[in-house]
């Protein structure tokens, strides 16, 4: 892959964050690249349908059902709504605060002649306050909340992508278990035929008791593979049911394992495709939020200037005419001595920013590793599957020859037994390798953030 185009500002040392920063000794700050990733719609699914590339409608339906009903996705969506409310609250801090009150009073008044009388009055008023935010404390806090909202949306997308990949891998594993069960049943039928022949030869005196006992043992060894495969299938179906948010039950099947056709991988995939990974975008926005929180914490050390005002009228039965009242004032609040509280909070924010920077770099490097692992898995398991297919064909031919020689009396049962064991091992290994190859494709799709089209 062409790695020079992506994330070098993220994964390589020597970059600095915007603005003046005092980094801890030995730390390396990083800067997010411009136009890093276009956020996905907050109320829509991931705009990638890579699971359709395998050509199995049952697989497609399973993944889409998991994306619609998975509980982890719903929990992540709830966190997004919480972050959205927090971001709205931070934006509200930038606006003037208005309030009103209409107090009612009752009492008595005394005239100059000493005659008391009852008086009823009211004083409606409107008050307003506004923080001028001279040093950007509230504005930076609002930007930090916005970055946290984007990070939570990316976290939700990460869960969606992982859910789709888990559903696809689980379905592939299920089809592999189905094929293992089919192989075990076919082998069991062949062993039953061999056991029948061995019993007949033993009863007629053409073979020893040893061959008959060997045939019995091999039949039982193969028979236990059937319930083991059925148990694994049941557990895999239950796991997929949980993933799709439903009660345990049967999972619909589509095409067999050997007919799943992932698309070919283009040579020279651009590393820019890694920009689609939501976990990288999440790490970036977490870094941005930590950086803005540090700015806000530093601004908290500076004076705060607030304007306040109120206006109202006084209404009373004791007054001939209403009386208007108003007030206007300003206040400056500056920390003088707080025992080092603000300084400690600023140091904690700096440490969180440095942690987010290192986490950002680690996420980028992990992305490269996952892509390389998936590409190597696709390539090497493909080569392994080719050789195992050749081995399976050779073992099948050897079993045919050994069976013919055994029935004709030219060889002992041990040759046929060895050929049966070799064929069973080769067939199961081929199924496992094909499964690994298909799951490597799924891992590659996930590592590339949802495909490369």
Q: What's the pLDDT at 453?
A: 54
At residue 325, the 3 state secondary structure works out as: strand
C-alpha to C-alpha distance for 362 and 355, rounded to whole angstroms = 11
Q: Which residue reads 């696709």 in tokens?
A: 378
List, in sequence order, every residue forming a beta bridge with 123; answer none if it has no partner. 103
| pLDDT given for residue 24 in this prediction | 35
pLDDT at 364: 87
CATH topology of domain 3-95+136-301+344-447: Outer membrane efflux proteins (OEP) (1.20.1600)
pLDDT of residue 263: 77
Say what the pLDDT of residue 450 is: 78
Residue 68 CB-half CA count within 13 A = 7
CA pair distance 251, 237, nearest whole angstrom: 6
Q: Output the CA–CA distances (angstroms, integers) from residue 153 to 129, 431, 437, 445, in the order listed.
A: 34, 38, 31, 20
Number of other residues whose CB lies within 10 A of the CB of residue 100: 11
Note the pLDDT of residue 184. 94
- Rounded to whole angstroms, the Cα distance separating 350 from 362 reads 19
Whole-angstrom distance, CA of residue 125 vs CA of residue 310: 7
User: Residues 179, 431: contact at Cβ < 8 Å?
Assistant: yes
Q: How far apart are CA 1 and CA 431, in angstroms?
A: 29
Residue 264 has what pLDDT? 76
Structure tokens at 433: 């390798």
Q: Please give the distance of CA 244 from its chain centroid, rounded to a whole number.
A: 15
Strand extents, DSSP E, 24-148: 97-110, 116-131
| pLDDT value of position 33 | 35
Tell me, what's the pLDDT at 253? 93
CA angle 193, 199, 203 (to 5 degrees): 150
Alpha helix segments (H runs only) across 118-224: 137-203, 209-223
Query: How far apart are alpha carbons 243 and 236 in whole angstroms?
Result: 11
Q: Is 274 exposed, middle or buried (0-12, 13-18, 19+ CB in 10 A)?
A: buried
The structural domains of the chain, with segments of one domain joined by +, span 3-95+136-301+344-447
Per-residue pLDDT of the chain in tens (453 residues, 90 and over written 9): 333 333 334 443 333 333 333 333 333 333 333 333 444 333 333 446 788 889 899 999 999 999 989 999 999 989 899 888 888 888 877 777 777 666 666 655 555 555 566 666 666 767 777 776 667 777 788 888 888 888 888 889 889 999 999 999 999 999 999 999 999 999 999 889 888 888 888 888 777 788 888 888 889 999 999 999 999 999 999 999 999 998 999 999 999 998 998 877 776 666 667 777 888 888 888 888 888 888 777 777 777 677 777 776 766 655 566 766 667 776 676 677 767 777 887 888 888 888 889 999 998 889 889 988 998 999 999 999 999 999 999 999 998 998 888 777 787 778 888 898 999 999 999 999 999 999 999 998 888 887 665
Does pTM top 0.85 for this prediction?
no
CA neighbours closer than 13 Å in the CB half-sphere of residue 166:
20
pLDDT of residue 31: 37
Q: Which tokens hold the place of 23?
A: 């980094």
pLDDT of residue 321: 67
């Amino acid at each position: 892959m062409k790695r020079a185009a992506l994330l070098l500002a993220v994964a390589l040392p020597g970059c600095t964050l915007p603005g003046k920063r005092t980094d801890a000794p030995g730390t390396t700050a990083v800067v997010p690249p411009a136009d890093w990733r276009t956020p996905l719609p907050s109320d829509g699914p991931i705009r990638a349908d890579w699971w359709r590339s395998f050509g199995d409608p049952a697989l497609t339906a399973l993944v889409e059902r998991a994306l619609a009903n998975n509980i982890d996705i719903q929990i992540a969506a709830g966190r997004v709504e919480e972050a959205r409310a927090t971001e709205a609250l931070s934006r509200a801090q930038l606006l003037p605060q208005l309030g009103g009150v209409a107090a009612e009073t009752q009492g008595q008044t005394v005239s100059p002649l000493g005659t008391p009388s009852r008086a009823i009055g009211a004083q409606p008023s409107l008050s307003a306050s506004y923080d001028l935010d001279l040093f950007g404390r509230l504005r930076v806090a609002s930007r930090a909340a916005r970055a946290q909202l984007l990070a939570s949306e990316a976290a939700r997308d990460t869960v969606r992508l992982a859910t789709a990949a888990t559903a696809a891998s689980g379905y592939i594993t299920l089809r592999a278990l189905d094929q293992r069960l089919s192989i075990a049943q076919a082998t069991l039928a062949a062993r039953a035929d061999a056991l029948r022949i061995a019993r007949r030869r033993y009863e007629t005196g053409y073979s020893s008791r040893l061959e008959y006992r060997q045939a019995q043992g091999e039949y039982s060894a193969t028979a236990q593979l059937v319930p083991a495969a059925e148990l694994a299938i049941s557990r895999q179906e239950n796991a997929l049911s949980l993933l799709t948010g439903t009660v345990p039950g049967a999972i619909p099947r589509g095409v067999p394992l050997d007919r799943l056709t992932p698309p070919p991988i283009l040579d020279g995939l651009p590393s820019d495709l890694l920009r689609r990974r939501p976990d990288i975008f999440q790490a970036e926005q977490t870094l941005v939020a930590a950086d803005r929180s540090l700015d806000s914490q530093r601004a908290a050390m500076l004076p705060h200037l607030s304007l306040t005002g109120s206006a109202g009228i006084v209404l009373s039965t004791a007054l001939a005419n209403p009386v208007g009242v108003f007030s206007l004032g300003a206040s400056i609040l500056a920390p003088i001595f707080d025992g080092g509280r603000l300084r400690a909070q600023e140091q904690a924010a700096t440490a969180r920013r440095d942690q987010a920077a290192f986490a950002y770099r680690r996420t980028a490097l992990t992305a490269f590793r996952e892509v390389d692992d998936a590409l190597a898995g696709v390539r090497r398991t493909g080569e392994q599957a080719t050789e195992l297919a050749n081995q399976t064909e050779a073992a099948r031919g050897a079993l045919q020859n050994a069976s013919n020689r055994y029935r004709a009396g030219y060889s002992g049962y041990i040759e046929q037994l060895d050929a049966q064991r070799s064929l069973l091992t080769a067939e199961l290994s081929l199924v496992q390798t094909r499964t690994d190859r298909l799951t490597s494709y799924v891992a590659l799709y996930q590592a590339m953030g949802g495909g490369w089209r």
